Amino acid sequence: MVDIDVSHLQAQLADGLKMQAASMREDQELLRVYQEINKLSHYTILLTLALELFSLPSALKLVKGNPSLYASAVFKNFFNHYLIAPAMFSVYVRYYVLPGHTCDVTKFPFDPLSPPDYSWCEYDRWTTFLQMLGVLLIQSIGYYLAHVLMHTRRFYWMHRFHHKFNNTVTPMVANAVSWAEYAVAYMLPIFVATVLLKPNVPALFRAGFIISFFNLLIHTPFLHDLSERLPGFWVSTAGHMEHHRVLSRHFAAPTLNVDWVVGLFVGSMSEEKRQKLFKQAKEE
């Protein structure tokens, strides 16, 4: 295992958040973006709790088996959704999206109780749809690469917490990841898509919510059997649950099944090679 000093990175993150808070007091566009991102976080948390209730037998099994671990999972959900996501996503939108589009945050005041509304930016539906698909595609590829990387000896430290949930998985586990994994595997691919595509605000936000929504679904146990009917190009709950158990296959998430696409071109990797390549993850 490679020793990595995360305390310095955490200190840098804290300093960055302080600077961002100061900037928002003077930048109304940054503030509005931050508010919109937090609204999406609210929806994601509420959906997580609703699906967790529908998965109550599995959730209770986790609580009874290791209450402190489950409490840590809940904490990481709130930490990632309300600290990491707003800190990174607001920078994406404010400095890489808004400058290339016509937006006026004073056009409509922010309403925390209303559904997401991006009419304060000018956009057309067809362009938005295509840009949204582009973001989803780049995110799928980026997450796949990051996920495979995190299953190697050097970077498994980032992913270890998520795989403490191997046999029993619930929607709460979907975002129960280290801050490093959330930043690199969850947020960085979206940032890459933002830089490459320069999508408009609704395209980026809608793609973000779709990613969050399907990430919850592939961690929802009662969808396991139903998901087996999905076509091979789509990530299934059954496939992702198997990944949690065996660790050496089904790395794609949460929409396009990149494993399936890769298999079309390079064929299937033997189980022997998989076990050798991802031995470190199995041993942890």
Q: What is the pLDDT of residues 209-261, one digit of tens each?
A: 999 999 999 999 999 999 999 999 999 999 999 999 999 899 999 999 999 99
Residue 69 lies in a domain: yes
> What is this structure's pTM?
0.88
Structural domain boundaries enclosing 136: 6-111+122-283
Q: How far apart are CA 162 and CA 253, in angstroms?
A: 14
Instruction: Give the pLDDT confidence of 94-125 residue by residue, as tens digits.
Output: 999 999 899 998 888 899 888 888 989 999 99
Residue 253 lies in a domain: yes
The total number of residues written for the chain in this structure? 284
Instruction: Give the pLDDT confidence of 12-32 residue by residue, as tens digits.
Output: 666 665 665 555 556 889 999
Q: 116-124: long-range contacts at Cβ-Cβ below 8 A with a sequence spacing of 24 or more?
A: 116/36, 116/39, 116/40, 116/43, 116/205, 116/209, 118/36, 118/201, 118/202, 118/205, 120/32, 121/200, 121/201, 121/202, 123/200, 123/201, 123/202, 123/203
Residue 67 lies in a domain: yes
Q: How many domains does the chain have?
A: 1
User: Are 119 and 108 spatial neighbours (Cβ–Cβ below 8 Å)?
Assistant: yes
Residue 117 lies in a domain: no
Residue 116 lies in a domain: no
